[in-house]
Every structure is written in C-alpha cells, then in structure tokens.
Amino acid sequence: MYDLAVIGAGPYGLSIAAHAAAAGLSVKVFGRAMASWRDHMPEGMFLKSEPWSSNLSDPYGVHTLRHFSEEHGFEAVHGRPLSIAAFTEYGLWFAEHAVPGVDERTVIRLAPAGNGYSVETADGECVLARTAVLAVGVMPFVNIPRQLDGFSADQVSHSSGHRDLSCFRGQDVTVLGAGQAALETATLLAEQGARPRLIARRARLNWNTPPEPLQRGPLRTLSTPHSGLGTGWTSWVWSEAPWAVRRLPGAARQHIARTALGPAGAWWLRERYERRVPALLGHGLRAAEARGGRVLLRLDTPGGAAIAVETDHVIAATGFTPDLARLDLLDASLRRAVATTAGGGRAPELSAGFESSYPGLFFAGLLTAPSFGPSMRFVHGATFTAHRLVEGVRRRLRTRTAVRLPRPAASPAFVTPGAPGTPGSVRKR
C-alpha cells in the first residue's frame, strides 16, 4: 500500500509527487504527464505568465524552468513570452527528473477502502493507498453556456478541445469570451486562414500592460511589487498569501475566486488580434439553434435590441467552473461526504493542508481556488500547494520518520535575467 496516490500528472500533480518523494513517502502518480498542455491547447499558443513565475515545484528548487532552458539552449526571460510547446517540454523533463515514475493509465474510480483508498484504473487494476490527492487539472470542469447544449461537436466546441486550428481554414468561426483563451484562439484562427469573429458580454476588452523591469528603484518596487500573478499589491496578495485568503468567510472567498484577475489579454497579443479579428462587444447570447448545418446565434445588443449571427462553428472560450459534482471518477459516497465551501459553493472546503472533510482525501488545482484564491488557477500556485499539501499528508499519516521535509527553495523570480543561476546537479531517477 502506498502512502499517497496522486491522480493527475500536470504541474500540480507532478509538484506534489516531487515533494512527497523528497519527504520519504511512497507515492504513486497516475495520469498522462502534462496531458492538458499536450492535447488541449492549440499549437502556436504562448504562456501568459512570466517564465520565472511558471516553475513546477521541487523542494530543492533544482528543476526550474530557467535550469531547463539553459540546459536546452534557449532563453526563458522576463518580458519575453514563452511558447506552450517549450513549457510542455519543461513539464515532461520535470516528470523525468524530479518524480519517481508516472503511471500513465487512466483512473476511472477513487473509492474508500479500509483505512485508505482504492484507485481503479481503466484496465481493471486496483491500487491501494493510505491517502489520495486529486490534482486533475481543469478538463473535468469545462464550462459551455447552457444556450449551446445539445449541439454536435461539429457545430460547437470548447476552446480546450482543439490542438490544431487549421481544420477551420476557410470557415466562419465565432469565438465566445473576452479572456486570453478567447483572444488568442480568435487570433490563431485568423492567422490560419479562418474567418473568426469575437462575441463578448463585456463592453470593452481588457489588455495587460507590458511588464515592468525586475530591477527598479526602491519607491517603484514598494508601490507596485512584482508577484507571480503580476505587479501591484492586490496581485501580490493573491500570489504570495493564499493562506490569508483561506481565513476569509466562505462567501468572500468564492467572490474572490470568481472575480479576481478577470478576463484580459496579454500585452504581446494585442497588435496581432486587433489587426485581424472583428468583435461584437457588449452582446449577450440569448439563444442558439441549428440551421442547415450551421449555428444561428441570437444576441442581445447593448441597446437592448436583438440580432442574429449565423456561423459555421462556435468555439466557447468561456473558462472552467470548479464543481465537485463533475468529478465522475470520485466515488459517489465520497462526493456526498465531502463538505463544500460555505454559501452554496460547489468546491470542497479544505484545511490549511489542502485536506477535505473526508480524512486522507486531498485536492489541488482549480478546485482549491474557492479556498485559497485565484493563484490556484495558475501554475504559480503549485509551489504554495505542494509543500503544504505534503505536510498535510504527513500529519494525516502520523509519520514518525526522521526525514525532514525541505521547504521550497527561494523562487528565482527576482534574479536579473542573464545572471548566473545556482541550480544543483540533476539526477535522473
């Protein structure tokens, strides 16, 4: 029986596994490494976050994105967007060097078993573990407007459903949304020969400004500090103090998770987008119907009038909704037993160590945002999560091992780009 089963092998699952192994726990990781990044993001996309705030977490700070980039001969520096392809390769490298093996079988059921858990894989095997963490990423929580229910995949899809957008060449494609996924998807569609338009309820689009230099004067640094989620004190709190968010009332936490760091496009995308993509802003989706193989969208205009738009395909870039009920792999008895956030929330209420109300069952990633705030929606949150969650697992196991769990190394966030780093040696496990 393993001490910990980690279900999910994205940035959070891999980081947790790295910390657990370093703590001396026997850990079993399930999932296709970096699957969402490999399979559900169109080619040509870039990370919105800065490279220095996009590290997966290992306890010694050895397996950083910067170390990977130096080893593989490319730059990952402040103010220069990094491709999703490069980041994905980094995640696979991290899995190879910092994690004690990844079992790529699909988990179909997690259920209580004695004093622990049974993890059932698609091929029928059951693996036992004393504790378990669900780090399943965002794909179970895809959000598509209810007006688009019932359409075939040929007519309506989510932005996460496409690896290759060239299949839309020559087609009229409508993208719903106002965030980075919507803006970048629409731009890539145009650049690959489609005829996209953007429809958003927002009256105007928000664009992030170019990042300020890492090295600045003391007054500027104090007034607008850098953080993993951007500059400014508000972003700093969301990024660096998720523990403080957790201490707020449940309703306040849910509001923060839902509204903080709202939809906005990356500064480096704006010129590409505005040259190519027409938009209907301030338009709400009232209804949709199939018409001769196409989709007819009925919209409410800002003035209250109704218009119709006919299109070949609709891509809903409308984000993800954390909802415990959508975790089909979680045994129904467990779903019912886990307490959710106060005020009618649909995400699990968690301890400071990311443990749910059901002993030994932990969560990581998007489902934890209503407990710890918006940093859990980003890779940057993996560092805060991994160390504390593994400490929570150790408390649950009441381990008496003398192994000391090292704290996460200081982030290389504020090292001047180009300055020599100090990573340790890399060992292949």
**Mean pLDDT of the 17-32 span:** 97
Give residue-wise pLDDT tens across range 272-294.
999 999 999 999 999 999 998 99
In whole angstroms, give the CA distance from residue 18 to residue 139. Answer: 23
In whole angstroms, give the CA distance from residue 24 to residue 22. Answer: 5
C-alpha to C-alpha distances, 372 to 138, 144, 202, 277, 285, nearest whole angstrom: 16, 25, 27, 36, 32
The beta strands (E) that lie in 260-365 are given as: 279-281, 284-291, 294-300, 306-311, 313-316, 361-363
Is the four-CA dihedral 208, 209, 215, 218 of positive or negative sign? negative
**In this structure, what DSSP letter does residue 209 have?**
P
Query: Is 316 within 8 Å of 158 (Cβ atoms)?
Result: yes
The pTM of the full predicted model, rounded to 2 decimals, is 0.89
In whole angstroms, give the CA distance from residue 196 to residue 131. Answer: 47
Q: Residue 108 has what pLDDT?
A: 97
Among the listed residues 300, 302, 383, 395, the one whose alpha carbon sits nearest the alpha carbon of residue 351: 395
Give residue-wise pLDDT tens across range 309-326.
999 999 999 999 999 999
C-alpha to C-alpha distances, 237 to 83, 226, 232, 242, nearest whole angstrom: 27, 11, 9, 7
111-133: b or e for each residue (b if 16 or more CB lie within 10 Å)?
Answer: bbbeebbbbbbeeeeebebbbbb
Which stretch, 6-15, 319-328, 391-400, has highest mean pLDDT? 6-15
Q: What is the bridge-based pairing of β-strands 126-134 and 361-363? A: parallel
Domains, the chain, ranges and CATH? 2-141+320-414 (3.50.50.60), 146-207+264-316 (3.50.50.60)
